[in-house]
Amino acid sequence: MCGIAGIVGRNPENKVVLANMLEKQTHRGPDAKGIWSADEVFLGHNRLSILDLSEAANQPFFSNCGRYVIVFNGEIYNYLELKQSLDYPFRTKSDTEVLLAMYIKYRDNMINYLNGMFAFAIWDIQEKQLFAARDRFGVKPFYYSMAQSQFLFASEIKTLFAAGVTQTLNEEVWADYFVHGSYGYPEETFFKDIYQLAPGHSLSYREGDHRPQISQYYDFVDQVKHQPVFEDEKRLQEEYLELLLDSIRLRFRSDVPVGFNVSGGLDSSILLAMISRIKEGEMQNIEAFSFYTGDERYDELPWVKDLISKTKSPLNPVLLSQSEVPDLIEKVAYFQDEPFGGFPTIAYSRIFERARQKGFLVLLDGQGMDEAWAGYDYYRSDSNALVQGIKSSLTRPNVISPELCAKARAISYPEPFDNPLQNKQYRDVYFTKIPRALRFNDRVSMMHSTELREPFLDYRLVEMAFAQKREMKIKQGQGKWLPRQLVKKELENIALAPKRPLQTPQREWIGGPLSDFVEDRISMLRSNPWIEKNALDLEWQNYKNGQNDNSFFVWQWINTSFFEG
C-alpha cells in the first residue's frame, strides 16, 4: 500500500513539482520516497513496506531490460501463483516485480489475471507511452488532471493541488450532494478539473495528447451473467465457502503483522469464523480492533466481546470520546479531501491509529458482504432508499440557493439486469455504497500509514454471490441468507440476528454536547453564496428542538464548512 504520482510533460520545473506532490502524500508511504524522470515523464512513489521489506523493492521500479518503469499502489494477492507462471529472472520477492513482469508478457491483457487492489502506472521508455489501471471495484484511488498541457496523476486530490491544479469546485457534483445526498459518478470528483479513473478501467497517454485514452477492461455485468446459478443450496454453500477461505488466505500474505477490524454483526462474525478455520492455533497472534463510544444504545462492544471469546484473539477496544470529535473531524477532513461519512468514519480512523501504534500495519474487514448478498432492508422492499433505517428525507435542499439547486441533475443509475434486486445491488456496488465506503476507508487507513484489505470484495466472491437467485439471498425475511448458513452452527445467535447499521451517537452529540462546535462550523456558511441563511438557521433550530430523525443534512453542512463555495 503506497502512494503514486506522476507528470507527463516537459516543464523543467516538474522534478521540483513532483517532490512537492510526494510530500503531500507522505502518510501513504513513510518508509521510502522515490523519483525517476526523463525528458517528458516524471514518476514518484511513497512506499509503505508490506511485502519484501528490502530496499530492492523500492519504487519507481525498473524491468530487467530497462524498458519499463512502474509505480504501484496496492497488493496483488495472487502474485505467488502468477510468479510461478512467468519465465522471468526475478530480483525481489515483491508483487511489484510480478506485476511488471506480467505486463511485459501480456501487455494490457495482464490485468485480467490479477486478484488484488491496485492503481498503477507503467511508462514504456521505448514507446514513450504511459499505461495505467485501477482495480475492478476501485479499492485503490487514481486521480488525474490536465494542467498546462500536461497529464498529472496521483493517489490523492491534495497531491494534485500541490502540482498547481486549480481548486475549482464542481458545482454539479455539489448540487447533487445537497439535493440527493450523492457523491458523484465514478469518473467525477467534487473538483471541476480533477477526475477519477473509474473502477475496472485503464488508460493510456502520450505526451501531447489532449486527454488520456480510457478503456473498460472489466465488464462486471457480463461476468455475472456468465456465472452458474445454483439450484442446490448445499452445493452453493460448498462452492462459496471454498472461494471465501481462499480469498482470506490470500489476504493474509504479508511480511508485517495482520489484524482485523470487528463489529458485533454478521459480516465480522463470518470473517472471524473463517480466519479461525484458516489460522487454527495461531489466533493469539492475530489481534482484533473495535471502536466504541460508551453509549449503550449504539455500542456493539458486548457483542464483540462475546464473539471474540470464542477465539483466543486479543481484543483492542478503541474509544471514540465526545470531547475528541471536533479535533478529529478537522484532521480527518484534511485527509479526505472531499465530503465524507460521519462519526463512524472518524471512529474508524481511531482503529487504524491504534493498530499502527501496536505494529499491525494490515487490517482486514467485512466490507462488501451486504451488497453481494442483499443484506440491507431496502433490498427486501420496493423502496429505492440508499440508507438503511432512515425514514425522513436525508437532505434539506431548501437551505441551498435556487441557483445551485438548479444545477442538480436527475440522478439515475444503469439497470442492466432483468430484476430490481440485482439492479439495486449493482447501484450500490458501483455508484453508491461501495464507492463511498472504499474512499472513506482508504483515506482513514492511509492517514495512519496502514493498509486495509477487504476479502469479501474478492471479485470471484462478488460475481458468484451477485448471480444467485433472490431466494438464495433473501429468505424468511432475512437478507444474506446463504452466508448465515455458513456460520449457523458456530455463531447461532449472531447468524440469526437482523442487520444493524453500524452507528455512533452522532445524532445526539450533534444536537447536544457538540452543538456549540456545530454552531461554529455552521456560522462559517452564513456568508457562503450557496447557502440560504434564514433557511439554514431555521433548520438548525428545528434540529435542536427535536426534528432530528437523521443528522445527515447537518453533517453535510459541517462537511461543507471545510470548502469555499
**240, three cell numbers:** 462459496
- What 8-state DSSP symbol labels residue 499? P
CA dist 510 and 357 (Å) reads 29
What's the CA gap between 450 and 48, in Å, rounded? 8
Whether 2 is a known active-site residue: answer yes
Among the listed residues 1, 2, 57, 434, the single catalytic one is: 2
Binding-site residue set for L-glutamine: 95
Residue 155 near residue 143 (C-beta atoms within 8 A): yes
According to DSSP, the β-strands at 451-453 and 362-364 are parallel
**436 and 341 in contact (C-beta within 8 Å)?**
yes
Q: Where are the beta strands (DSSP E) in 38-141?
A: 41-47, 61-62, 68-76, 116-124, 129-134
- 52's grid cell: 519484501
348 grid coordinates: 474508524
Separation between Cα atoms, residue 262 and residue 243, nearest integer Å: 21
Radius of gyration for the alpha carbons in the chain, expressed in angstroms and rounded:
23
Long-range contacts of 424-429 (CB under 8 A, 24+ apart): 424/378, 424/379, 424/384, 425/371, 425/372, 425/374, 425/379, 425/466, 426/220, 426/221, 426/466, 428/371, 428/376, 429/137, 429/220, 429/371, 429/372, 429/462, 429/466
Here the cell at position 15 is 522534478
Q: Which residues are annotated as a binding site?
A: 95
How far is the C-alpha of 476 from the C-alpha of 117, rounded, in Å?
A: 35
Q: Are 457 and 139 in contact (CB under 8 A)?
A: yes
Side chain identity at residue 50, one-letter code: I
- Report how far residue 236's alpha carbon sits from residue 443's, in angstroms, rounded to the nearest whole number: 35
Nearest 5°: CA angle at 105, between 102 and 107?
80
- Going from the C-alpha of 34 to that of each of 39, 43, 48, 129, 486, the distances in angstroms are 17, 8, 12, 20, 46
List the grid coordinates of 232: 442446490
Query: Helices H, strands E: what count in the chain?
Result: 23, 17
DSSP 49: -
Catalytic center residues: 2
